[in-house]
A and B are shown apart, each in its own frame.
Chain A
Amino acid sequence: MSTRHYNNTDELLLERHDLQTIRDMIPAGSRILDLGCGSGRLLKVLKEQKQAKVTGVELDQQKLMQCIERGVPVIQGDLDTDLGEFADNTYDFVLLSRTLQSVHRPDLLLQEMLRIGKCGIISFMNFGHINNRIPLIFGNMPVNRNLPRPWYNNQTIHPGTIADLRNLFRELKIRVIKEIPLSNRGDFLPFLGKVWPNLFCSNCVFVIER
């Protein structure tokens, strides 16, 4: 991927392998809903490079303003309460990047994603990663690049592992089309990720369908 030619909108994604992975799998002209879209970086790229018809959902006022500045259509809403406003089957892809563990009911959110869209793409922070397990063995919750804030004030209110999420998909009868484990800068022995993603990948992108 490093040999690819990047134009200026690409630079918005350089730091995030998971966002690059999502960008690369979206077909041109898709209808995209990004839940927890932040400042709209990914959607801006999808709008410009893939001519996608994009909508973001974001609660934070500052981030929302950044979306508007970028020209990304965005709805100020709460993923826990406002998704009912979206009609069934109105998007090709519903994206959820690093947000699943921050909502009150991840299981309900997954079902909402697949009600609103044909296909869901989730970028998931793997709590089972070795960088997280080591501090736990010594008795503390991890604080690291992927979980930069301590347990009492971080967004990750439902820490879960890749294995946990696979189980949840099974329970909810959600089909996993693709599972793409990803390593990030600072990961321990990243080349082992292919063998044992739940232990060696800090991030994983899932593509899911009903």
Chain B
Amino acid sequence: MTTTQKQNEGSAGIVAWHDFTFGETEETALRLDCGKRLKNVVIRYETYGTLSPAKDNAILVEHALTGDAHLAGKYTPEDKKPGWWDDMVGPGKPFDTDRYFIVCSNIIGGCSGSTGPGSVNPDTGKPYHLDFPVITIGDMVRAQKRLMEYLGIGKWMAVAGGSMGGMLALKWAVDYPDCTNAILAIATSPQISTQSISFNWVAREAIMTDPTFYNGDYVTQPQRGLAIARMIAHITYLSDESMQRKFGRMLQNSDEYSFDFAKDFQVESYLNYQGSRFVERFDANSYLYITRAIDYFDIADAADGDLTKALSVAKFPFLVVSFSSDWLFPPYQSWKLVRSLLQNGTDVTYSNIISSYGHDAFLLETETLGDMIRNFLINRYKELTEQ
């Protein structure tokens, strides 16, 4: 069955993004967890496929830390790269655009079209920079809820996400349990580990101590700081095994050590490249705000630290997937989630996929993960439409 479906897989094609703006007045402004309100909120989003007349086939896909609303397809035929989860989203693909209406939106706090620290503060007419309020995963979801209402969708068929995107999916489950029929939480956690908080801290320190950071009021990106932040993060997305396999101790330009501090090893050159590419597409202030939101995220907060109780509102099936070599969101964190769901009697399917790709596996193990998502969604849709 799977093979024939794969033969029929196609691209999402040429796609376009849209902007939705809300909160022009004090009353309609977005209420934030920190107590402040955010006005004139823009949400950049893309959609793929067609919403059914019964509006029962809408799936929200959440992106990770540095992702955006461009999930699949290309804006123009000349684009070098398609959207970030193009392998998974399209006609005949696991998120099958022939069956489902897929929505992806850039989170608030980001820098890819939605309101973030780089946006203009309507009260001052100048960019927010560090005056942007500290936002949470809950705030991001609350903003998406407005988009959902705007799109006329009463209930998602599923909310899906990997990494930070999985946190948003979990937040939907707990904050808006009546608004979804399933959750797909991939390579994620009900709260991040002390180790991950530490990496985020070091990344932010790298950015904030860059002499060109100017307390967030930079005109051009604080390149060194942001690149270092990215290099650190990039290491946490890989695994010892995948790095060993990809680079080993191979040297970049010669067979001998240079006996200076230039890039000798291939892995050094690779990281440097990743860092410099990142600076071209991401905003340093956004990086601070989003990593902070990740640090603060704890789904158990909804019930004073009782994860099981917090999740008890979720009465729909979950697909939870972790990857064996993921040390940023280790499998034990997914188990923690699964344990609570089981205790609540919630339908849950959990797989810990054996992979050497580390955290990045959620973007790379498209075969196994894709089959799981495909079948989970097919069965869920069948159950919902036969009810």
Residues of B within 8 A of A61 (CB): 351, 353-354, 368
Assess whether B339 is interfacial by the CB under 8 Å rule: yes
Interface: A17 (CB within 8 A): no
Do A69 and B354 touch across chains, with their CB atoms under 8 A apart? Answer: no
Cβ–Cβ contact A90 & B354, under 8 A: no
Cα distance, A82 to B335, chains bound together (Å): 9
Contacts of A87 in B (CB 8 A): 339, 342-343
How far does the alpha carbon of A33 sit from the alpha carbon of B358 in the complex, in Å? 31
> Counting CB contacts under 8 A, is B333 at the interface?
no
Tell whether, in the assembled complex, residue B338 and residue A85 are in contact, meaning their CB atoms are under 8 Å apart: yes
Instruction: List residues of chain A with CB within 8 A of the CB of B335.
Output: 82, 85
How far apart are the CA atoms of A200 and B210 in the complex, in Å? 80
Is A75 touching B345 in the complex (CB atoms < 8 A)? no
Is A68's CB under 8 angstroms from B372's CB? yes
Out of B348, B353, B371, B383, name the residue touching A75 (CB < 8 Å). B348
Instruction: Tell me whether A65 and B347 are in contact in the complex, defined as CB-CB below 8 angstroms, given that A55-B342, A71-B379, A85-B339 are known contacts.
Output: no
Q: B350 touches which one: A53, A69, A76 (CB < 8 A)?
A: A76
B376 adjacent to chain A (CB < 8 Å):
yes
The answer to whether B351 touches A90 (Cβ under 8 A) is no
A73-B368 in contact given A85-B339, A85-B342 (Cβ < 8 Å): no
Q: Which residue of A lies closest to B372 (CB)?
A: A68
Q: Are B349 and A74 in contact (CB under 8 A)?
A: yes
| Shortest CB distance B61–A (Å) | 19
Q: Is the CB of B345 within 8 A of A31?
A: yes
Residues of B within 8 A of A73 (CB): 317, 347-349
Contacts of B379 in A (CB 8 A): 68-71
B338 touches A75 (CB 8 A): yes
On whether A53 and B372 interact (CB within 8 A), knowing A61-B351, A64-B351, A87-B339, the answer reads no
**Counting CB contacts under 8 A, is A196 at the interface?**
no
> How many A residues face the partner with a CB closer than 8 A?
21
Among A69, A76, A82, A90, which residue has its beta carbon within 8 angstroms of that of B375?
A: A69
Inter-chain contacts of A76 with B (CB < 8 A):
350-352
> Whole-angstrom distance from the CB of B330 to the nearest CB of chain A?
15
Q: How far is the CB of B341 from chain A (nearest CB, A)?
A: 10
A86 within 8 A of B: yes
Contact of A86 (CB < 8 Å), options: B342, B353, B368, B383: B342
CB contact under 8 A between A75 and B372, given known A61-B351, A61-B353, A64-B351:
no
Within A19-77, which residues are at the interface with B (CB < 8 Å)?
A: 31, 53, 55, 61, 64-65, 67-71, 73-77
Give the docked Cα–Cα distance between A71 and B376 (Å). 7
Point out the residue from A31, A55, A65 that lies within 8 Å of B371, measured CB to CB: A65
Instruction: State the Cβ distance, A86 to closest chain B Cβ, in Å.
Output: 6
Q: Complex: how many Å from CA A64 to CA B348?
A: 13
Chain B 181-219, CB-CB to A under 8 Å as 1, else 0, gives 000000000000000000000000000000000000000
Chain B min CB distance to A62 (Å) = 10
- Give the docked Cα–Cα distance between A77 and B335 (Å): 10
B348–A65 touching, CB < 8 Å: no
Among B51-78, those with CB < 8 Å from A are: none
Nearest 5 Cβ contacts at the A-B interface: A71-B379, A87-B343, A69-B375, A76-B351, A73-B347
Other contacts beyond A61-B353, A64-B351: 16, CB < 8 A: A61-B351, A67-B349, A68-B349, A68-B351, A71-B375, A71-B382, A73-B348, A74-B350, A75-B338, A75-B349, A82-B335, A85-B335, A85-B338, A86-B339, A90-B343, A90-B345
- Which residues of A are interface residues toward B (Cβ below 8 A)? 31, 53, 55, 61, 64-65, 67-71, 73-77, 82, 85-87, 90
B residues adjacent to A (C-beta < 8 A): 317, 319, 335, 338-339, 342-343, 345, 347-354, 368, 371-372, 375-376, 379, 382-383
For this complex, 8 residue pairs linking A to B, each with C-beta atoms less than 8 Å apart, are A31-B345, A61-B351, A68-B376, A71-B379, A73-B349, A77-B350, A85-B338, A85-B339
